[in-house]
Structure 1
Amino acid sequence: MKNSYIPMVVTFCMVQSWIFGQSKMQLVQTLPQEMVYLHSNASTVFSGESLRYKFYGLDNGTKKTTKISKVGYVSLVGRNGEVVFSHKLRLDSGATFGDFFVPVSLPTGTYKLLGYTEWMRNFGVDTFFKNDVFIINPYKTIPDIYLSQSVDSIEGKPVIINKRLNAKSQMDDSSFVDVSLDKTTAGKREKVVISVQGLTDASISGNYSISVQKRDSLYFETSVSSEAFLRNLNRNRGNANSETTSNLHIPEIRGEVISGTILDKGTQNPVENQRIALSLPGEAFLFKIATSDGDGRFSFILDRRYTNTDAAVQLMADVANEYEIKLDTKKDNNFGDLAFPEITIPRFMEDVILQRSVHNQIENAYSEIRMDSILEVEQVPPFYRDLPITYDLDAYTRFNTLQETIIEVTDHLSIRTLNDGSRVFEIRPNVGLPNDNLFPAVFVDGLFLKNHEDFMGYSAKKIKHINFTRDEVMIGSQVFQGVLSFKTIEGDFFDEFYSQEIINIELFKPEPIKNYFNQLYVGGDNQPRVPDYRHQLFWQPNLNLSHGKQELIFYTSDVPGTYQLVLEGFTSNGNPVSVKRALVVE
C-alpha cells in the first residue's frame, strides 16, 4: 500500500511544483487562455421554471475542450451587480451541466448569465461568456419600465414578441450532425422520436446538448448559437497587467483549490515548511496535507467528489498556537459594469403571462411525480478509507472506557503514555518494532485528530466500529504508522467536538450531477388524471454519439403550440454544431 501510493504523491508534487515554481508572468504567458460557451434551454424564464444550461470549456487557440481547468463557474447577475446565484461545477473533459430553479422572490427584469473558469478571472470579465436572460415574475407587480400600453407606444425598445416558428424556420448544419424528427406535427401526449447521427469521426466523438421547448409570442430570444459564438469571438488573449500578476488566480488543473497563508502571530511574517491538514468529515471523508512555501502559501487540491460542505483545517506543528492561518476567500468578480438591454412587455400580453403562470403552478404542484434525480458517482475510495482490520463493537462485550475496549477487544492496537503525560494511540507494524516517534493518523467520523488525547475520554459505548491498517503510509509529506478510524453510532462527533486549534470552514461545494426527468407515456396509459402542462418537453445535456445513430424519445404535453428543438455543441476538433428543428403540437 505504501509503495503504490508514493508515485502518486511524487507525480502530484511535480505538477504542483511546476505551477507554483513559475513566475506569475511566466504562468500567464505559458498556459493557454480558455473560453466558455453556455447552451441554455431558454433566455426567457418565468418564476417557478428552471434555467438549465450546458457548460463547454474550450481552449481559446484550438477551440477543442480545455485540458487545463477541472472546475467551472456559472453565475447569474442582476442589473445592480448583485449575484443571484453562483454554481461551482466539476468538469468532465471540459464539459458539464446544471440548472437553477427561479424562485418567486426574484423580481422581473433582465439578468446576465456568465460562464468562466478560475483561470479566466485573470483576464477580466470581458473574456467571460455572457448571455442576457429575461425573468418574468407574474406573482409580483411588474415594474413600469418593463411595461408598455401597446406596441406602437414603444420608442426604440425591443419587444418580447417572437415570430411564430414553422417547419421551415430551422437551422441545418448537416455537414457534421444529422438531426431529424419523425414528424413535424404531433398531437397532445404523443410520442416523438429524434434521430441524431454524427457524420464525421470528429463529430461522432464530439460533445452536444439538446433541448425541446415551447416558443410562443412571449419569448425574448438572446441565446447565442455555438457557431455564432465562435464566429464573433474576440480572439485576442487577455491582457495580463500588474494587478493580474500580483493577484494571480491559479488554474484548477487537478480539481478545486483551497489555499491560504501561514503567518507568525507575533511578527505577521509568512512561515515556510509548515504542514497543515484539511479534513472533510463524514461517511466518505477526505483528508489532505499541504506544506507552506517560502511565502507561507499552501494549497489543497480536492480532486474527488464529496457530499459534505463542512471542513476542518489545523496545523500539524506541536507549537501550532504560535501561528495563524489566513484562508483565501474566493469573491465574485466586480460585475457592476455589465450592460443590460432595455426590454418592454406589451400590456396586451397579460393573458399569455397569466396562462403560463397557471401552467407553472400546476406543474410545480405535481413536481414529485416529475422529479429529477441525483446521479451517484461511483469512486474508488482513497487508501486511507480502505482499512483491512475491522472491529464491530456490537459483536463484543461493551466496556465503558476506550482504553478497556482496546485492551480487551483489539489486537495490534494499544494506548501509550508519553513523557509529558499525554496519551497516544499506537499500532503495531506488520514488520519490526514500533517507531516511538511515528504515530497513526487518527480519524473520528472522518475528522482528523492531531492530538489523540482529545479523544481518550470519549465513551466507548458511543462507538460502533474501529478500523485500522498496520501499514506505514504517507499522506502528503507526512508519514504515519498506520491509519486508525473510529465510527460513532450517531456519526455526529464533528458537530460536538471543539478544539481551539481547529478552524471550521464551509466549502463552496460543486453542483451535483442530475438525471433529468423525461415524461414517457407507455402501454397506452396516458395518465388522464394527471395534468401535463410542460413547456420544456426534453432536455439532454450530455448527448453521446459514439455508439452510432441515437434515437431519443420524448412525449408532447397538453400545451399546444410551436416547439423548437435546438442542438448545440462542438466536434472533437473544435468545430461548432448548431441545429434547429420545429415541431407543432395541435
Structure 2
Amino acid sequence: MTLRIYIASAIICLSVFKANGQVLINNAEDLRSLELTPMETAYLHLNSNVLFPGEYLYYSFYCIDASTYKLSNISKVGYVQLINSSGETILNQKIRLNKGKGQGELFIPSSLNSGNYKLIGFTRWMSNENIDQLFQSDILLVNPYRTNQFSDANTTLSEESMTEKPNASLSDSIVGISIGKNSFSPRSNLQLTVQNLKGTLGAGSYSISVRKVDDLNIPAPTNPIQYSNKYAKLSKKISKKIGDTLVIPEQKGELVSYQLIDNQRQQPKPNVELAVSLPGKRNEIKYAKTDQSGTFYSYYKSPIASDNIYVQLITEDNSTHTLKNSKLSDRLINTKLLTFANHKVSTTDSILIKNRSIHNQIQNAYRINKKDTLVSSEPENPFSSDIPESFVLDEYKRFKTMKETFVEIVVNVSIKKRDGKDVIWIDENTLSNSRRYKIEYLAPLVLVDGIYIKDQQTILDFDATKVKAVYLLRDRFSLGSKAFKGMIYLETFDQQNQPLITNETILVAKGNFAQEDRRYFNQLYSDNTEDNRAPDFRTQLYWNPNFNLKDDEINFDCYTSDVKGDFEIILNGYTSYGKPIHLRKTFRVE
C-alpha cells in the first residue's frame, strides 16, 4: 500500500461562498480578475447515440478554451448528465479532467423507458453562461422490454433522420487511419494504425471508436468539426457584472461540499470546526469550517478513492449531528431550456431490435471475465513530504491489543495516566522542540486507514492482530484551532474499520465523487486463448478515449467479433494548436 496523508488547512475562503458554491462579484477589481480567466466549452466524442438497456454509453470529454480553441487547463472536473424529455436528470457523473481531457461511461439500466434523451457535458465554469455554452447531444434509447413507450411507435424515421453518414476524411490529411484491408472474417485482427501525416501539425489528443454501423438509421453524433461551427456564438469570457453571483471554476481540484445538521434543533450548524477524512489508497484529511448556512467546502487535487466521506467535529460531540450532501451540480443547469429531437423507431425494425437485445444479454453474461481496470495514478510523496517511522507488526512478537503494542513495540510512544484515563503519549522530535514542549501533553492525531479517530480508548482496545503496520510522526501540527503532538497511522490488513467507525459515531455520508479513469477491456485472440470457445457478440470492437499522437504512427490491437455486417472506425480529437479532427473509415465483417 502506498500511504498518502495530507494535513491541510482550508484552502478556500468559506465566507465568500453563497448558495450552491457561488461567489459574489464585489467590485471592479474582482470583475477584472475573473474576466482574465477564459470561458470554456466542451465537446464529447460518443461511441453511439442509439442505446439499448445493458449497453454502455462511452464518452471522451474535451474541455476547450473558448478563446483559443485549444484544450483548456482551467477546470479539473467535468460533469455529464443524461436528461429525459421532462428535463429530469436520469444519470449523473463527475469525471476528472487532466489538461482538458477526461473520460467516462454510463451504463443504461433496463428501468429507463424508450424515448428521446439529451446528453449534456459541462464544467462549473461553463454554467455561468447560457445553455448553448454546454455540449449537447440527442440520444435515442430503445428498451424492448417495455411496451407503448413512444407516443407514435409505428411512425418511421423522418427524412432528416435518414441523413446518410459520410465516409470521408475531414482532417485535410493531417491524420490518417489505416487497416490491413476492407473486409475481414470474424475474430481477426484489423491491424489498426493511426498515422500522423504532418509531424507537429498532426500532434494532438485523440479518441477512437470501432463499432458496428447502427442499423437504426439515426443521424450520427456531432463530430468536432461540426461542433466548431458554433464557436462564433460562444462566450469568450464571463458575461457578468458587479453585484452578480458567479460559479467559480474548479481550478484547484474537485470541490466537495456538505451541510452539517444539528439534529436536536433540526437546523444547520454554523461555525463548527471539522476534520474531514477520505480513506483509500490516497488518504487525505483536511480541516474545514462550516459557514453561516452550516455548509463546508473542500478542494481535492488528487482523485478520491473512497466511496464515502467521514467527518469528525474537532471540538464538539458528533452524536447529535448528521451530514447532508450539498449536491452542487444539481442546480447548475436549467434543463427545462433543453430542446429534444423526435426520433422514433418503426415496427419494421423489430427483428433488428430483437437480435441486438439477444446479443447484449449474451455479452453481459460473459462480461464477468472481461472487466475494465482502473488506471493507476502516479505515486505521491506520503505524509506531506515527511518520512514517518514505520513498524510492520509481523516482524515483532504479536500482542492482543494496540495498548500493549504501543508499549512493547512502537518506539517513542507510551501510555500514561491523565485524569484517571489512559492516554497515548508521543515523545516529540527533540531536534525541533524545546524541553517545555516535551513535558506538555497534547493528544496525537490518530488515523485508522485514513479515518480520524478521536476516542483514544477505542484505539487502545483495538484488536492488534488486525493491524498490519503502524506509522509515526513526532512533530507538531494543527487542524484549525486544535493542536496535535504527532500523528499515529494504523494500517489494517483488510481496510475494514467499520467497528471503529460505529463506536466513534463518526459522521458518514455517501460521496458523489469524480470517477477514476478506466482502461477498457480489449478482446484479443490467439491460438491458446480460452476465449476462443466463448460466444462473442460485441458490436463495440474497440474504444480508446484518450491517446496522444506525437510520432509518425500508433498501432492498436483490435479484433472483430462473431457479429457480421458493416463497421466504422471513428477518430475524433484536437491538434495541439486547437484544430478539430474527424476521420471515418468503414469495413465489413463477413
**TM-score bracket relative to the smaller structure:** 0.7 to 0.9
Q: Is the 8 A contact 2:413 2:425 kept in 1?
A: yes
Deviation track 1:388-416 (CA, whole Å, cap 9, x = no partner) reads 43334455555555444433333211234
Following superposition, the deviation at residue 128 of structure 1 comes to: 1.7
Following superposition, the deviation at residue 72 of structure 1 comes to: 0.8
Following superposition, the deviation at residue 187 of structure 1 comes to: 2.8
Match of 2:251 in 1: 253
Give the Cα separation in 2 of the matches to 1:481 and 1:495: 26
Task: Give me the CA root mean square deviation.
Answer: 3.9
Give the Cα separation in 2 of the matches to 1:400 and 1:557: 56
Match of 2:215 in 1: 217
Give the Cα separation in 2 of the matches to 1:559 and 1:529: 15
Following superposition, the deviation at residue 475 of structure 1 comes to: 6.3
Question: Which shifted more, 551-560 or 198-207?
Answer: 198-207
Q: 1:314 to 1:131 in 2, by over 3 A?
A: same
Q: 1:175 to 1:425 in 2, by over 3 A?
A: same
Q: Is the 8 A contact 1:563 1:582 kept in 2?
A: yes
Match of 1:561 in 2: 565
Q: 1:492 to 1:83 in 2, by over 3 A?
A: same
Secondary structure (helix, strand or coil) at the match of 2:357 reads helix
Q: Find out whether 1:366 has 2:372 as its counterpart.
A: no
Match of 1:339 in 2: 339
Question: Which shifted more, 51-60 or 486-495?
Answer: 486-495
Match of 2:92 in 1: 86
Match of 2:521 in 1: 517
Give the Cα separation in 2 of the matches to 1:192 and 1:123: 44
Secondary structure (helix, strand or coil) at the match of 1:148 reads coil
Secondary structure (helix, strand or coil) at the match of 2:151 reads helix
Deviation track 1:350-397 (CA, whole Å, cap 9, x = no partner) reads 112122222222222322344323333342253169764333445555
Q: 1:162 to 1:105 in 2, by over 3 A?
A: farther
Give the Cα separation in 2 of the matches to 1:521 and 1:500: 52
Residue identity (%): 31
Following superposition, the deviation at residue 456 of structure 1 comes to: 3.9
Following superposition, the deviation at residue 421 of structure 1 comes to: 4.7
Give the Cα separation in 2 of the matches to 1:65 and 1:556: 33
Q: Is the 8 A contact 1:9 1:476 kept in 2?
A: no
Deviation track 1:54-94 (CA, whole Å, cap 9, x = no partner) reads 00111111111112111111111111223221111111111
Following superposition, the deviation at residue 108 of structure 1 comes to: 1.1
Secondary structure (helix, strand or coil) at the match of 1:351 reads helix
Question: Which shifted more, 178-187 or 82-91?
Answer: 178-187
* TM-score, length basis structure 1: 0.84
Q: Is the 8 A contact 1:445 1:494 kept in 2?
A: no
Q: 1:510 to 1:537 in 2, by over 3 A?
A: same
Match of 1:36 in 2: 42
Following superposition, the deviation at residue 342 of structure 1 comes to: 1.2
Deviation track 1:207-248 (CA, whole Å, cap 9, x = no partner) reads 1101121114313124111011111232235875699944x4
Give the Cα separation in 1 of the matches to 2:12 and 2:133: 30
Secondary structure (helix, strand or coil) at the match of 1:349 reads helix
1:1-150 map, 5 Å: 23=25, 26=31, 28-148=34-154
Give the Cα separation in 1 of the matches to 2:395 and 2:378: 30
1:159-558 map, 5 Å: 161=162, 163=164, 169-200=167-198, 202-233=200-231, 234-236=233-235, 245-246=244-245, 248-259=246-257, 275-282=273-280, 284-290=282-288, 298-317=296-315, 328-333=326-331, 334-383=334-383, 388-399=388-399, 402-418=402-418, 420-421=419-420, 423-431=422-430, 432-433=434-435, 434=438, 436=440, 438-460=442-464, 463-473=467-477, 480-488=484-492, 491-498=495-502, 502-523=506-527, 529-558=533-562
* TM-score, length basis structure 2: 0.84
Q: Is the 8 A contact 2:59 2:104 kept in 1?
A: yes
Which letter maps to 1:353?
Answer: I
Q: Is the 8 A contact 1:56 1:95 kept in 2?
A: yes
Give the Cα separation in 2 of the matches to 1:327 and 1:245: 25
Give the Cα separation in 1 of the matches to 2:492 and 2:193: 53
Give the Cα separation in 2 of the matches to 1:85 and 1:31: 30
Q: Is the 8 A contact 1:315 1:501 kept in 2?
A: no
Following superposition, the deviation at residue 14 of structure 1 comes to: 9.3
Which letter maps to 1:358?
Answer: I
Question: Which shifted more, 307-316 or 320-329?
Answer: 320-329
Give the Cα separation in 2 of the matches to 1:296 and 1:210: 45
Following superposition, the deviation at residue 316 of structure 1 comes to: 2.5
Give the Cα separation in 1 of the matches to 2:505 and 2:530: 61
Q: Is the 8 A contact 2:81 2:119 kept in 1?
A: yes
Q: Find out whether 1:584 has 2:582 as its counterpart.
A: no
Which letter maps to 2:299?
Answer: I
Q: Is the 8 A contact 1:391 1:466 kept in 2?
A: yes
Question: Which shifted more, 31-40 or 177-186?
Answer: 177-186
Give the Cα separation in 1 of the matches to 2:402 and 2:565: 70
Q: 1:364 to 1:478 in 2, by over 3 A?
A: same
Following superposition, the deviation at residue 282 of structure 1 comes to: 4.4
Which letter maps to 1:211?
Answer: S
Give the Cα separation in 2 of the matches to 1:341 and 1:409: 69
Give the Cα separation in 2 of the matches to 1:492 and 1:239: 47
Deviation track 1:122-163 (CA, whole Å, cap 9, x = no partner) reads 3354422110010111222252425226x5xx7xx4586564
Question: Which shifted more, 92-101 or 497-506?
Answer: 497-506
Give the Cα separation in 1 of the matches to 2:117 and 2:259: 36
**Paired residue total:** 569
Q: What are structure 2's unaligned runs of at least 5 residues?
A: none
Give the Cα separation in 1 of the matches to 2:328 and 2:77: 14
Question: Which shifted more, 312-321 or 446-455?
Answer: 312-321
Give the Cα separation in 2 of the matches to 1:493 and 1:169: 56
Deviation track 1:440-471 (CA, whole Å, cap 9, x = no partner) reads 22112321124435534445565453321223
Question: Which shifted more, 120-129 or 540-549?
Answer: 120-129
Secondary structure (helix, strand or coil) at the match of 2:459 reads helix
Q: Is the 8 A contact 2:177 2:193 kept in 1?
A: yes
Give the Cα separation in 2 of the matches to 1:17 and 1:231: 41
Which letter maps to 2:186?
Answer: K
Following superposition, the deviation at residue 30 of structure 1 comes to: 3.9
Which letter maps to 2:360?
Answer: N
Q: Is the 8 A contact 2:58 2:106 kept in 1?
A: yes
